Amino acid sequence: MPAKLILSLNNSVLGEFPLDKERIILGRKAENDIQVDNLAVSGQHAAIITILNDSFLEDLDSTNGTYVNGKLVKKHALKNGDVITIGKHELKYVNDEASDEDDEFEKTMIIRPGMAGHAAAAAKAQEQATPARPAPGAGQAAPGAAAPAADANLPLGKIQVLSGPGAGKELELKKALITLGRPGVQVAVITRRPQGYFITHVEGTHPVVNGDSIGAQARQLKDHDVIELAGVKMEFFVS
Amino acid sequence: MSLDGKLEIYGITDVGRKRSHNEDTIGSDKELGVAVLADGMGGYKAGEVASAMAVNMILEDLRENLRNAKRGQIDEETGFSQETLVVKNAIEKANQTIYQTAQSQPQCHGMGTTLVTVAFHEDRLTIAHVGDSRLYRLRGDVFEQVTSDHSLLQELIDKGFYTPEEAKKSLNKNLVTRAMGIELNVAADLQEEVVMPGDIYLMCSDGLSDLVEDTEMHSTLKSHGDNLETAAKRLVQMANENGGKDNISVILARTLKPFTAKKSWYTKVFDWF
């Protein structure tokens, strides 16, 4: 039995809605999967994304917000018994099958990438998502699996020197690995990982980013981070 | 260049406590500085066919082509070293063969495998992975995961639905979003990292990382890191003690001294300092 939401107002039940689609939208307008006709509710207020046996709630930038068990949330992984509040309406999440030992789920399976991505997609998105499939099926292409490596889509990072003799110089971080600094004094390395650029200490004292020592751990660089290394200040930015 | 004497590698794979057979495959070549780990999936015994094909074909390919790679040269277009491109090519070829086998052999229908591969060269390490098999690194006191899983769970974490702590309790643990053998083409994530003497690298299948906390892996490497065999066996034992619900594979690699003094890629950037 799929999980469901029980809609109520002032403790009287108004309806039950099975979560039998990957994406269910709640809101004031009639075209929503779950309509809650009250002015405190935004036209499209929140979405519930269901993947196999788990459901996730996302507030769709509603005017009055979405609360779970009294707490304002933007995104939330639903647990059996959670109470979602929008305006004065309540929706109780009931998932009887929630269990932590289900052998079916122990087997590694492959699903189409980007499932979670649909959650963040605009509510208006027309795309019809295909359901997760329990095994890699022959001939059934998994869209996205053949997408180019993530790093191909990574915006190009650059470093500009802010101080010292090289001030004003720029370096495009086109290489997978670039070593920076003065050997014997302080050296760090910037590596391009699929999820972004990371700076790691190599030699000497730990590099400083935005005024704080990064320690020995790799740290992801964000746009306009200022790196201090061997007495030279540099700015990292993405183009 | 032989890396013998500069690098130690020890690998172990274990069926665990719940499964009847082992679908993981590991392989390594210490002289070449290469290790490969794969976690197969799908069908009756087809998972182990897929993982064995991946490991054996990639090892064989690298034995043939890595020595001939233009050492230390960086490809202008991709920014990767030639060694990394050799690894990428080996993975793509293996993927095609696994895919074609899965298509043509009914008993292999639907098989696939995850993969994590490392290749040590110069002062660098090439890392390639597909799926949820991982690479961790212990350097000094810092233990960190270097790869990022291709899994639904990681996507949910990236999108902000879960914190990494919450994710551990999720049921969606074993859903991978990329695997080898599923399509004609595969996009492996490629990374290069600087290698330091004394680094310990840990490759593992999810049979380890699902059942043993990062902090426990860290402390095991800290206390037994001077003996990779002891450390690897201890890690497998810990996963089994925690249920052993999946096959468990671990490869440990430790760098003993710097590989070469060649630092050609330093030049340009040091002018600033």
For A143, name the nearest residue in chain B, comparing CA atoms only: B183
**pLDDT score for A184:** 82
Contact residues, chain A, for B152 at CB < 8 Å: 51, 111, 115-116
Q: Is the ipTM of this complex over 0.85?
A: no
Poorest-confidence range of A111-120, B125-134, B135-144, B172-181?
Answer: A111-120
At B145, is the pLDDT very low, low, confident or very high (cuts 50, 70, 90)? Answer: very high
The residue assigned the tokens 């991982």 is: B134
- Asked if residues B110 and A136 have their Cβ atoms less than 8 Å apart, the reply is yes
Model pTM score: 0.78
Residues of B in contact with A163 (CB under 8 A): none
Task: Note the pLDDT of residue B267.
Answer: 43
Mean predicted confidence (pLDDT) in B193-218? 94
User: Residue A203 has what pLDDT?
Assistant: 86
Check whether B209 has a pLDDT greater than 90.
Answer: yes
Q: Give chain A positions within 8 Å (CB) of B263.
A: 179, 183
Q: What percent of chain B has pLDDT over 90?
A: 70
Distance CA B12, CA B22 (A): 12
In sequence order, what are the residues at sequence separation of 6 or more whose Cβ sits closer than 8 angstroms to the Cβ of residue B168? none
Interface touch B172/A54, C-beta < 8 Å: yes
- Nearest CB among B42, B80, B142 relative to A135 is that of B42
- Name the residue among B114, B89, B107 with its Cα closest to residue B181: B114
CB contact under 8 A, B185 and A146: yes
pLDDT over 60 (residue B121): yes
Compare CB distances from A111 to B39, B103, B152 and report the shortest one's residue: B152
Give a three-class secondary structure readout of chain B. Answer: CCCECCEEEEEEEECCCCCCCCCEEEEEECCCCEEEEEEEECCCCHHHHHHHHHHHHHHHHHHHHCCCCCCCCECCCCCCEHHHHHHHHHHHHHHHHHHHHHHHCHHHCCCEECEEEEEEECCEEEEEEECCCEEEEEECCEEEECCCCCEHHHHHHHCCCCCHHHHCCCCHHHEECCCECCCCCCCCEEEEEECCCCCEEEEECHHHHCCCCHHHHHHHHHHHCCCHHHHHHHHHHHHHHCCCCCCEEEEEEEECCCCCCCCHHHHHHHCCC
Token pair listed for B264: 């050609």
Tokens of B190: 């490629």
Lowest mean pLDDT: which of A48-52, B83-87, B240-244?
A48-52
- Contact at CB, B194 and A200, closer than 8 angstroms: yes
Q: Report yes or no: A32 and A25 within 8 Å, Cβ to Cβ.
A: yes
- pLDDT of residue B243 exceeding 60, the answer is yes
A with B: how many residue pairs have Cβ under 8 Å apart? 212
The percentage of residues in chain B with a pLDDT greater than 70, rounded to a whole number, is 91
- Count Cβ atoms below 10 Å from residue A155 Cβ, excluding itself: 11
Asked if A35 has any chain B CB less than 8 Å from its own CB, the reply is: no
Min Cα separation B197/chain A (Å): 11
Q: Is the pLDDT of residue B263 over 80?
A: no
| Unique residue bearing structure tokens 């052998």 | A103
Phi-psi region of B122 (alpha: psi -120 to 50; beta: other; left: phi over 0): left
Q: Given this model, what pLDDT does residue A51 score?
A: 81
B145: chain A residues, CB-CB within 8 Å? none
The pLDDT tens digits for B27-73 are: 999 999 999 999 999 866 799 999 999 999 999 999 999 988 877 78
Q: Does A156 touch chain B (CB under 8 A)?
A: no
pLDDT computed for residue A102 by the predictor: 47
In this predicted structure, what is the pLDDT of residue B259? 54
Partner residue facing B187 (CB), from A109, A149, A182: A149
Name which residue leads in pLDDT, B123 or B218.
B218
Nearest residue in A to B75, CA atom: A175
Instruction: Nearest chain B residue to A195 by CA: give it.
Output: B148
Angle formed by the axes of helices B82-104 and B46-65, nearest 10°:
150
The tokens describing A218, both together, are 């790799």
B24 within 8 A of B52, measured Cβ to Cβ: no
- Taking the CA of residue A118 and the nearest CA in chain B, the distance in Å comes to 10
Read off the pLDDT of residues A111-156 as tens digits, 9 standing for 90 and up.
766 665 544 333 223 233 333 333 443 333 333 333 334 445 688 9
User: DSSP assignment, residue A137?
Assistant: -
Q: What is the pLDDT of residue B72?
A: 74
Average pLDDT over chain B reads 89
Contact B13, B232 (CB under 8 A): no
Q: Which segments in chain A show pLDDT lower than 70?
A: 1, 97-108, 112-153
pLDDT (average), residues B181-190: 94
pLDDT of A125: 31
Q: What is the pLDDT of residue A110?
A: 73
